[in-house]
Structure 1
Amino acid sequence: MATSYLAAMGGTNRTGRVELTHEDAHAGERGTRARCLPEPWMCDVFHVDGSLRDIRVLDTTRVEWIAVLERLRVVADETEVEHPYARLDPVRPAPADLFRAWADEPEGQGTSFAFRARFGAVWFFALPYDEEEIEFSLWPEHVLDGEGVAAVLRFLVEVATASHRRALLTAEVVRYTPELPTLISHDPDTGLTSHI
């Protein structure tokens, strides 16, 4: 599936490798790592500035959260869960049980759990703090090339598809408001992905 994103972003050569067409001048404050991304707009989206990028789905409930976590367990290259709930499976608890222990039971009050999913070389992580907004974060410095961008786009599409709601990639903020710019979005109703 990632190959189709890569082909759309810059084409592939005879060996199936991505032909990268744009050198990223944004190599971080210390200039320790240069990146090569296929399109200039991607350099702006994944500019290494010391902050995270967030993937958000707004106006959700526990149902959408559970659907997203279950979907990610199926399609991601790898997933991990950490939680403090003694009665749940320590390695692979059911998402519904995680939310029940976290939100509904006395042992879960004041705690949370962590969920991580890896697509290619990029890890996406969530530490749920409410049910009304799905939020995953990623470090832009992990998006090193066209394959990294493809992983982000695939993750965005999977989250939007599983939740049946528009998924947004934004800059890191405590709480999203509509006035903030959306860097990339995917609308599952139209199937369209757009960027700044």
Structure 2
Amino acid sequence: MEETNARRRVEPAHEDVHAGEPGTRARCLPQPWMRDAFRLDGSLRDIRVLDTTRVEWIAVLERLRVAADETEVEHPYSALDPVRPAFADLFRVWADEPEGRGTSFAFRARFGAVWFFALPHDEEEIEFSVRPESVLDEAGVASVLRFLAEVATAGRRRAVMTGETVRYAPGMPTLISHDPVTGLTSHI
């Protein structure tokens, strides 16, 4: 929806932000909740599933490997396939074997034009991050909603998107959530 100012000039009723890099598009998030959820404040957005185990992590990563437009895995473990390791093996080496102590691995998944990434630090909480500046428009928001639903469905638990934190704290504002039991997605 557009607004007309006092000089009768039509101005968009949404945020237009240009990233300033050659070839980038202007950012256009038309709904107030979208602008609030993806405010450019210098921090990432975290997508989390709480109280998980290795089994849920593996299920989520396997589902994302199939559902995403593109995925990438990076790890330092010489015994594993360098490009497409089995996730069960990746978690075994990372968490259980001396080779994996003190290291981690990286997983990235692209839905549409938006990349999501994880650097697992424990098995008890699934956490992915997304850069809010990569969510340029309603298609980008739709990619985030699809990702959130895929993670919640595979993990069989509610997935939430919050502002960037080290650990989730009860009572922290939830920007978007998806409940796989009800199939409902809610936002601020």
Same fold by TM-score greater than 0.5: yes
> Does the Cα contact within 8 Å between 2:49 and 2:125 map onto a contact in 1?
yes
> Does the Cα contact within 8 Å between 1:23 and 1:35 map onto a contact in 2?
no
SS in 1 for 2:49: strand
Is residue 2:179 matched to residue 1:184? no
Pick one of 2, 14, 20 that aligns with 1:23. 14
d(CA) in 2 for partners of 1:163, 1:22: 37
In the other structure, the counterpart of 1:114 is 106
> Does the Cα contact within 8 Å between 2:37 and 2:175 map onto a contact in 1?
yes
- Give the deviation of 1:23 after TM superposition: 1.7
Higher gyration radius (CA): 2
The structure whose residues are more often strand, as a share, is 2
Pick one of 147, 152, 159 that aligns with 1:160. 152
In the other structure, the counterpart of 1:14 is none
d(CA) in 2 for partners of 1:38, 1:158: 24
Pick one of 44, 59, 68 that aligns with 2:36. 44
Matches within 5 A, 1:67-106: 67-106=59-98
Structure 1: runs of 5+ lacking an equivalent: 1-9, 11-20
SS in 1 for 2:174: coil
- Give the deviation of 1:37 after TM superposition: 1.3
d(CA) in 2 for partners of 1:175, 1:168: 13
The TM-score, its normalising length taken from structure 1, stands at: 0.85
For the aligned residue pairs, the C-alpha RMSD in angstroms reads 1.9
The TM-score, its normalising length taken from structure 2, stands at: 0.89
